[in-house]
Amino acid sequence: MLKNSRRLLRGIGLVCALALGATACGGSDDGDSSRKAVSASDIQAALKKGGTITVWAWEPTLKQVAADFEKEHPGVKVDLVNAGTNDEQYKALQNAISAKKGVPDVAQVEYYAMGQFALTKQLTDLKAFGADKLASKYSPGPWNGVKAGGEGVYGLPMDSGPMALFYNKKVFDKYKIEVPTTWDEYVDAARALHKADPKAYITNDNGDAGFTTSMLWQAGSRPYKVDGTKVSIDFSDQGAKTFTGTWQKLLDEKLVAPVTSWSDEWYKGLTDGTIATLATGAWMPANLASGAKGASGDWRVAPLPQWTAGDNAGSENGGSALALPELGGNEALAYAFVEYANAGKGVQTRVDNGAFPATTAQLNSEEFQNAEFPYFGGQQANKIFAESAANVADDWSYLPYQAYANSIFNDTVGKAYVSDTTLADGLKSWQDASVKYGTEQGFTVEK
Amino acid sequence: MTTLLTPAAAEPRPAPPPARRDRRSWTGWGFIAPFVAVFALVFLAPIAYSIYLSLFRDQLIGGTTFVGLDNYQEALKDDRFWAALGRVALFLCVQVPVMLGIALLVALALDSGRLYGRSFFRVSIFLPYAVPAVVATLMWGFMYGTRFGLVGDINDTLGISLPNPLSPDLVLASIGNIVTWEFVGYNMLIFYSALRVIPHSLYEAAEIDGAGQIRVITAIKLPAIRGALVIATIFSIIGSFQLFNEPAILQDLAPNAITTDYTPNLYTYSLSFSGQQHNYSATVAIVMGLITMVIAYVVQLRGMRKGA
């Protein structure tokens, strides 16, 4: 989530990173697919025996969970390490796996990156622990995420990001603009707002792979089809056309602010009302409250605008799971912690500390739904988020190398933001580049 | 070799003199061993390891295989690599002459002795070099901002609309500006120190001959600092080809203008860390290293030829 600080760090560590590049080599991985079932009594025995597990995660609410877990099981020590946020951590994890050394017992992995690790058999299939029986506990989007387009269960969902429209009510009221319920209305609102105040924009968009794929997801596009090592990529379906048709208007008329999310400029815009809406995941409130303090009370939450009036299609943006790297040790204990944190008592602890859950029990609980957000002027925003979570179509899949594909998004689709290239053309070149990489990496890729 | 070895091996016992020579040669090795060990470890081993890496290919599906020179073949046909190289070559042809020209002018001005507040001037020109490249780039990045940065403020105050320095068309020039700002002082110092060692008797002789300042510069100063000029040029060539910090940091501000393959070094970085293509990345790095070496060598040959 904290993309800017991650990038800043990267910026500073550049030179040493380059030097490291020469020494970080790819090792071969021959995963052991035959796995014995681990029963509940095995896990109990492991808990009694005790030991230390290393957990790599950047999710802040896990700190309390780890402390509670240690208290409940004396003799067990949870070593919680923040090895970087998303990309940084994946690089570290990948390097540890390549080196077959220092691999954590538990790692936080986002849904979009799950495939990359699952496919190369770097994550343990938790079916051996009976995790498949937990399916009904989770909302469909996140559960689909941990299956990573296959039959295995490669992690337990930790949080989720059903999308909603965050909007600055003060700005909308000031210019008497209706809150849009469809994306066509959204474009109209963008025009009206920018006309009323040339410094104000409906939203910011500087080319963001996560956002674009989430929008495609909602529009009904299914660009990625994954079947083991067979992959197909196609950004020319009807859903993609729906999205590019509308979004192109915003780009052509310069109605979106060319500001990168998580930058200082972005927070300024969110605070002073020059960025009037954000279509993003339900994990956003805590970030707004801390990053745009000055706008407390101005913002509200509305359901995500629809592509067809009266529809209720949802989509996910972000969200992560806890997984067990294949090369990590102490599996039974590691699984016990993951289950505690993401299916057991830990879930409530995390929700109490501001996390957005992936479990239906918490999503549907009255306490959760009725929670009032002071930042949103006392609005019960969770009601909107929970409804959005229930409306997410669960047949979306990411590429087994989505992390790489996302890294070249701005090289390709980014052109549409700074030149005459259209979004559709940009997506086409993203498709071509992704196909090329997939083929090089040994996938069977169909266009 | 074998013919030489056979008689030696056949000899049952070496005569005393060769034995003494043997011991002596080992003593020599003992003296240079610390150097050889460090040299091999920090210079030769990484190069050898990179070459070793470049002969393999590691795939997500299929693991690591030996591919011989396939990676090199691919690199020679890689449009992204050549486009990146073209970009730094353009940068080299424009930015380096500008930077060295300014540095030379400043050095000559300082050396002329006619400057008021010379040491202050010298320090302030050199100061940017003392600012870390990361900090300098971040600072310039903020100034380039058209919304909240200096450019934006100028636009607001004067009611004009300056072109965005971070747009795809201008960003290379903007990077050139940062690099020039950073390194003028450094190059100035090289030139200035070379100018300071020119014997004063030459100037006196020139004065007696009635030579003007321009004549002194072209006939005495420039030929005398030729070596320094060549060295500075070679450093700048290497620096241009290794351009990395400035574009990598500005990438956050202009992700659509600075692609992940903007410069050859940025390309190897993203190959290695986003794409897990360590092998191909090593190949690109080696090819780039060779190209840099060849160009730097050619410049050195040309530069030194007339001077000799």
**Interval B55-76 mean pLDDT:** 90
Question: How buried is residue B123: exposed, middle or buried, by Cβ count under 10 Å (0-12/13-18/19+)?
Answer: exposed
DSSP helix, strand, coil percent of chain A (3-state; round to 5): 50, 15, 35
The domain defined by A38-158+319-364 carries CATH number 3.40.190.10 = yes
Determine, for residues B256 and A14 on separate chains, whether the beta-carbon distance falls below 8 Å.
Answer: no
Determine, for residues B275 and A119 on separate chains, whether the beta-carbon distance falls below 8 Å.
Answer: no
Q: Is B11 within a domain?
A: no
Domain that holds residue B123: 78-307
Supply the ipTM of this predicted assembly: 0.80
Nearest chain A residue to B63, by CA: A28
- pLDDT one-digit tens code per residue, A325-363: 999 888 999 999 999 999 999 999 988 887 889 999 988
Which of A15, A116, A267 to substitute to test the interface with B, most B CBs within 10 Å? A15
Q: What is the CATH number of the domain that holds B176?
A: 1.10.3720.10
pLDDT value of residue B234: 94
pLDDT value of residue A38: 81
Residues of chain B found within 8 Å of residue A29, distances taken between Cβ atoms: 63
**Interval B63-71 mean pLDDT:** 90
Residues of chain B found within 8 Å of residue A10, distances taken between Cβ atoms: 248
* Residues paired with A165 in a beta bridge: A279, A302
pLDDT value of residue A4: 45
Determine, for residues A91 and B273 on separate chains, whether the beta-carbon distance falls below 8 Å.
Answer: yes
Closest CA to A9 of A59, A99, A82: A82
Contact of B64 with chain A, judged by CB distance below 8 Å, is answered with: yes
Q: Which residue in the set A10, A15, A120 is minimally distant from B60, CB to CB?
A: A120
Q: Which of A234-238, A358-362, B1-5, B149-153 has the lowest mean pLDDT?
A: B1-5
Which of B49, B67, B171, B256 to substitute to test the interface with A, most A CBs within 10 Å? B256
Nearest chain A residue to B147, by CA: A265
* A·B CB contacts under 8 A: 121
**Interval B5-21 mean pLDDT:** 48
Determine, for residues A404 and B275 on separate chains, whether the beta-carbon distance falls below 8 Å.
Answer: yes
Higher per-residue pLDDT: A330 or B8: A330
Rounded to the nearest angstrom, the minimum Cα separation between B145 and chain A is 10
In tens digits, chain A (447 residues) has pLDDT values of 444 444 444 444 443 333 333 333 333 333 344 456 788 888 888 888 889 999 999 888 899 999 999 999 998 999 999 887 777 788 888 888 888 889 999 999 999 988 888 887 889 999 999 899 999 999 888 898 898 777 889 999 998 899 999 999 999 999 999 999 999 999 999 999 999 999 999 999 999 999 999 999 999 999 999 887 899 999 999 999 999 999 999 999 999 999 888 888 899 999 999 999 999 999 888 889 888 999 999 999 999 999 999 999 999 998 899 999 999 888 999 999 999 999 999 999 988 887 889 999 988 899 899 999 999 999 999 999 999 988 888 888 899 899 889 989 999 999 999 999 999 999 999 999 999 999 999 999 986
- Write the CA distances from B84 to B165, B180, B243, B270, integer angstroms: 20, 20, 10, 13
- pLDDT one-digit tens code per residue, B211-234: 888 999 999 999 999 999 999 999
Q: Which residue in the set B252, B275, B285 is minimally distant from A260, CB to CB?
A: B252
Higher per-residue pLDDT: A9 or B145: B145
Contacts of B126 (CB under 8 A, 6+ apart): B185, B186, B188, B189
Q: Is B55 within a domain?
A: no
Angle at CA of residue A60, ends A59 and A65, nearest 5°: 95
Residues of chain A found within 8 Å of residue B60, distances taken between Cβ atoms: 116, 119-120, 400-401, 441-443
Q: Is B282 within a domain?
A: yes
d(CA B70, CA B106): 49
Q: Is B45 within a domain?
A: no
* Residues paired with A300 in a beta bridge: A167
Closest CA to B57 of B282, B266, B267, B269: B282
Nearest chain A residue to B133, by CA: A12
Residue B14 in this model has a pLDDT that exceeds 90: no
CATH number given to A163-315+395-446: 3.40.190.10
Query: How many domains would you assign to chain B?
Result: 1
What is the residue extent of each domain of chain A?
38-158+319-364, 163-315+395-446
Say how far residue A443 (Cα) sits from the centre of its chain: 24
Residues of chain A found within 8 Å of residue B145, distances taken between Cβ atoms: 265
Backbone angles phi, psi at A217, to 5 degrees: -55, -50
pLDDT value of residue B17: 52
Nearest chain A residue to B59, by CA: A441
Examine domains A38-158+319-364 and A163-315+395-446 and report if their fold is the same.
Answer: yes
Residues of chain B found within 8 Å of residue A265, distances taken between Cβ atoms: 145, 147-148
Residues of chain B found within 8 Å of residue A417, distances taken between Cβ atoms: 256
Nearest chain A residue to B284, by CA: A22
Angle at CA of residue A34, ends A29 and A39, nearest 5°: 125
Q: Is B114 within a domain?
A: yes
- Write the CA distances from B138 to A40, A305, B154, B240, integer angstroms: 54, 37, 19, 19
pLDDT value of residue B291: 95
**Could you tell me where the DSSP H helices lie in chain B?**
2-10, 16-39, 45-53, 70-76, 79-111, 118-130, 133-144, 150-158, 171-196, 200-208, 213-216, 222-224, 226-241, 245-250, 264-273, 278-307
